[in-house]
Structure 1
Amino acid sequence: MASKEDILNEIDANREEYIHLLQRFIQAASPNPPGDTTKASRVMIAFLSQHDISADVIAPQPHMPNIVAHFDGERGPGHRVVFNGHIDTFPANEPEKWERDPYSGHNDGSAIHGLGAVDMKAGTAASIIAFTLLKKRAQHLKGSVALTAVSDEETGGQFGTKYLLERSDNPALWRGDCVINGEPGGLQSVRFGEKGTLRLTFTVTTPGANGAYKNLSRGANIVAARLITKLQETVESISSDLPQDLKQHFANPHTRKVVDEIMGPGAASVLLEPTLNIGVLNGGVKVNVIPSQCIFEADIRLPTGLTRDTMLARIRDEVLKDFPEASYAVQEAASNPANYLAHDHHPLTKCIADAAEGVTGRRPVPLVGMGGTDCKFYRYLGIPAFVFGVSPKGMGARGEAVLIDEFMAVVKTHTLAVWDYLSE
């Protein structure tokens, strides 16, 4: 009979192989946009093939392959667990200013460097490794396991996870009963939900004029600046209507301490509040001309308990009433409601927490995330999805790097959690 000790021994024995896999994965550039993940996908397919697993490719866009595979346990029917992760990364930000090439995959002995190391090639590689280890032990498992390594997460998921769950030939294969995902969240937490996003494009239109004749028109940029100030005041004044059990959970001093530890001082409060970020303003004319139009984007993060309709009503009633020159449009593809399922009541949550505690010596706390992940698409379908991954520090920034010990801890936790869930 296989055992946890057997699994851990194999992981430790293959440590260097797994580190080299992550290095090759990072070295295969996959920034999105433009979204070409073919090189990175080939790294994953080759690794699976080396472990006698034939993966399928589902590619609604040829340059964005989704790598999928599944197997049945040999002890009979049971739950279906899905490993989900993405292959694409943010584009490199000012690559000439990086200390090392963004795609170096450099190993300094304690960390692997490169764009996507944190978000989320370490997590996706960990899930793929876990899948191979479990497939090798299929005779000891009930139920089934699926793997979905997708190529379109950074730009919305319409050709990635969302496509697999809604438009592929057999969506049931990739939905499962529950999901484990390796997005960066910190080893101190299991994420069971996340904030929503409401993305708006505002257009301010005024008559415009020569810069000397301010009596003829207020400049659209000046109106926009005042509008943004009012928008911020309104958005940040709105309270969410959290369910009582979540209120109690997030009021717990230990929970708040862990949130601040992972995401920085003050994060525990921000997690439960709406936040506003403003994108590039477009004035469109020279400085000596009163512009007739200004366009800017607003990215509003919605905490659990605050809906899009509530936010839009407040914006219409409290902001736009004072700015007749302004209108807005919702960017539907980039707007998603806050979501959570199975706070701490799902058996996979316990399996993840037990496995993580055994590996790291510390029991992770159930939390919601501030950033979006593909887990939302599962939760919208009523499928519990949980995130356990490396620290989010440095993701997408110059000098992004993942600690090797954290990466290995995620490999072990993902493998042992699903092993416990399907073998007991």
Structure 2
Amino acid sequence: MSLRKEIISELEANRESYVTFLQQLIRAASPNPSGDTTEAARVIKGYLLENGIKPEIVAPLSHAPNVVADFQGGKGGGQRVILNGHIDTYPVEKPDAWEKGPYSGYNDGSMIHGRGAVDMKAGTAASVIAYAILHKKAESLNGSVGLMAVSDEESGGKWGTRYLIENYGNRWLGDVVLNGEPGGLQSIRFGEKGTLRITFTVEAQGLNGAYTFLSRGANIVASRLINKLLQLEDIESPLPEEVRKHFNSRARKIADNIMGEGASEVLLKPTVNIGTIHGGVKVNTIAERCVFEADIRLPIGLDAATILRLIDQYLVDFPQASYKVQEAASNPANFCTADHPFAETIAKCAEEFTNFKPVMLAGLGGTDCKFYRYRGIPTFVYGPSPKGMGGSDEAVSIDEFIAVVKTHTLAAWDYLYKG
């Protein structure tokens, strides 16, 4: 039996143990905020130790450890593959709304339930399992493999992926990166929209509510400004040709199927979401001050400077308003070449296990992949369906999870094995 067939046989034989590992990881609550991932990190560390791997813990924040490990293949030099995923999750706002409980890890026979099942404990578990299997076959591989199960992704990555990249030199950069964020088995993500986060402040004259003829008030001005900001959604991005060629009719149809009807249009244009609004003291007074936040998602090809110039033009008609960009929460759109041998390897393995060759797409949401793509490192996402992520009763398909496990494992193996 070939080494590759041995790996596939092992993957098939241990399916139930992989599901149990994912359940344990989901039961280890790691909402961000607060960002405490110590229990989830313990589960991952325990799994690696059980498989003969001694991981390292890098914890710039004591409550948000990063679990890392790497090995050099026995065949010497070659490419370095990084398997990257995060272990923090969205918080649970309404625990009572969950039929199975937010951290139950309940297995109903086809789905595993719980916060983070989709985003992204299934993907991270897949990378951990893949790393453990590859580690057993290290002597047959060229190059090397690194595993990063990180914290802090949901709050920007400062103490997770970004920290490891900036403080440990080339060790955690690699030549190519594979990530299991939810993207859908029908696609491989090679880019994602950027984020421009802005805080707007509107100042106006405060008066009794009967005197609106003297001052419209900060809240009224803010509402008019918000309507103006929504005009940004009419801008279509000048996509680079190397990206546009992947947005053919098949890819657009699959994007709508994965992310919801209209996703293919939103990928090409900015979106504007208005977050928390603070303004006014009493209903019968004219508010002096209103503060609100805007989350503007930038498609590939459209930069923040272009949007800010338009906002500056808008504010000519709103002299009461000013804004400040939240630099730490704002990141440019990013992409890497989609025509890369590793991307083709991932696609072939995915097709082998799903009977569907995935298309190359960009994502709507931000991930830690941006830190690699900004440095020119080809970085690809292959993970389960994003449906249900962040919502009550979040759950991941067991079959999709196993397909991701197999694809991550064999994609790294095929890319590094030269036998």
TM normalised by structure 1 equals 0.97
Identify the residue that residue 377 of structure 1 maps to in structure 2. 371
Within 2, Cα distance between the matches of 1:171 and 1:216?
60
2:255 is the counterpart of 1:259: yes
Match of 1:204 in 2: 202
1:5 and 1:121 mapped to 2: Cα distance?
27
Letter in 1 for 2:353: V
Are residues 1:330 and 2:330 paired? no
Map of 1:340 onto structure 2: 335
**Number of residue-to-residue matches in the alignment:** 418
Counterparts of 2:280 and 2:22, CA distance in 1: 44
Q: Does 1:8 align with 2:8?
A: yes
2:72 counterpart of 1:81: no
Tell me, in whole angstroms, the C-alpha distance in 1 between the residues paired with 2:96 and 2:291.
30
Distance in structure 1 (CA, Å) of the matches to 2:241 and 2:153: 32
The answer to whether residue 288 in structure 2 is matched with residue 288 in structure 1 is: no
> Cα offset for 1:237?
2.4
Residue 70 of structure 1 pairs with residue 70 of structure 2: yes
Paired with 1:4 and 1:363, the residues of 2 have a C-alpha distance of: 20
Contact preservation (8 Å) 2:280, 2:286? no
Q: Distance in 2 between matches of 1:260 and 1:351?
A: 25
Show the counterpart of 1:423. 417
Is structure 2 residue 213 aligned with structure 1 residue 218? no
Q: Secondary structure in 2 aligned to 1:179?
A: strand
Q: Which runs of 5+ in 2 are unaligned?
A: none
The AA in structure 2 aligned to 1:242 is L
**2:264 is equivalent to residue 268 of structure 1:** yes
How many Å apart are 1:342 and its aligned residue? 1.0
Match of 1:299 in 2: 295
Partner SS state of residue 290, structure 1? coil
State whether residues 151 and 159 of structure 1, in contact with CA within 8 Å, keep that contact through their aligned partners in structure 2.
Answer: yes
Q: Which residue of 2 aligns with 1:357?
A: 351
The Cα of 1:98 is off from its aligned counterpart by 1.1
**CA distance in 2: counterparts of 1:224 and 1:280, whole angstroms:** 12
**What is the rounded CA distance, in whole Å, between the counterparts of 1:226 and 1:59 in structure 2?**
45
- Out of 346, 356, 380, the residue aligned to residue 386 of structure 1 is 380
Percent identity, aligned pairs only?
61
Preserved CA contact (<8 Å) 2:104 2:113: yes
Structure 2 counterpart of 1:52: 52
1:243 matched residue in structure 2: 240
Q: Secondary structure at the match of 1:282?
A: strand
Q: Which residue of 2 aligns with 1:406?
A: 400
CA drift of 1:96 comes to 1.3
Q: How far is 1:113 from its partner?
A: 0.3
Please state how far the C-alpha of 1:2 moved relative to its aligned partner.
4.4
Aligned to 2:91: 91
Kept in 2: contact 1:208–1:218 (CA 8 A)? no
SS of 2:154's equivalent in the other structure is coil
Q: Is the 8 A contact 1:84 1:182 kept in 2?
A: yes
Aligned-pair Cα RMSD in Å? 0.9
Q: Normalising by the residue count of structure 2, what TM-score does the alignment of the two structures yield?
A: 0.98
How much does 1:245 deviate? 3.1
**Is the Cα contact below 8 Å between 2:219 and 2:280 reproduced in 1?**
no
Gap runs ≥5 in structure 1: none
Q: How does 1:89-238 map to 2 (within 5 A)?
A: 89-167=89-167, 170-233=168-231, 235-238=232-235
- 3-state SS of paired residue (2:39): helix
SS of the equivalent of 1:289 reads coil
- Counterparts of 1:237 and 1:403, CA distance in 2: 36
Counterpart amino acid of residue 406 in structure 2: K
Q: Aligned partner of 2:398: which letter?
A: I
Distance 1:178 1:248 in 2: 22
- 8 Å contact 1:93–1:397 — kept in the other structure? no
Per-residue deviation at 1:93?
2.4
The answer (yes or no) to whether the contact 1:282–1:294 under 8 Å persists in 2 is yes
Q: Contact (CA 8 Å) 1:2, 1:137: kept in 2 or not?
A: no
Q: Which one-letter code corresponds to 1:57 in the other structure? A: I
Deviates more, 1:408-417 or 1:89-98: 89-98
CA contact (8 A) 1:111 1:402 kept: yes
Give 2:361's aligned amino acid.
Answer: L
**Shift, 1:264, TM fit:** 1.1
| Secondary structure, counterpart of 2:153 in structure 1 | coil
Which digits, 9 at most, give the CA deviation of each residue in 1:372-395, with x for residues without a partner? Answer: 000000111111110000000000
> Residue type of the partner of 1:244?
E
**Paired residue type of 1:50:** E
- CA deviation profile, 1:7-34 (whole Å, cap 9, x unmatched): 1110111111111000000000000000
Give the whole-Å Cα distance in 1 for the aligned partners of 2:275 and 2:296.
11
